Amino acid sequence: MARFSVVFAGILLVVAMAAIAEAGIITTTTFEDNPFGRQTGEDCAVKMAEQEMLSHCRMYITTSQGYQSPRAAFMNPAEEHMKFCCDQLQNMGKMCMCEGIKMMMNMQRWTQQQGQMMSMAENLPKQCGFMTESCQMRAVWF
């Protein structure tokens, strides 16, 4: 009977320790907001502000199309704007380039009817040598 009591006490002790150990385990589940490391629209908007809303890209497109103000005629030619545009796009990073160009086009309220300007904008990353394909922006227009 004494052996039975010792064995029973041992089993009871193991069960009690298992219960205490289970109670002490905390399981935490987290969900990552950005699981693939992609830039979010917010990140791209911040980069746009840092890159002066791609001002040189906008100037390149408008001066190349002959839309320059009298004041702009005395400023940098289209080629210089293109160089600075490429610098701005490079600072945007590949993940935000097309998104930034879409934002720039929407801010200018350029419409799909201004197709040549839109084509130039779509091709900027390709023209700068950052991408092999053009940005696709058709869905941006209303």
The amino acid sitting at 87 is: D
The whole-number average pLDDT for the span 82-95 is: 96
pLDDT, tens digit (0-9, with 9 covering 90-100), for 41-78: 789 999 999 999 999 999 999 888 766 555 555 555 78
Q: Which domains does the chain have, with CATH numbers?
A: 40-140 (1.10.110.10)
pLDDT of residue 93: 95
pLDDT of residue 118: 87
Looking at the chain, the whole-number percentage of residues with pLDDT higher than 90 is: 42
pLDDT of residue 42: 82
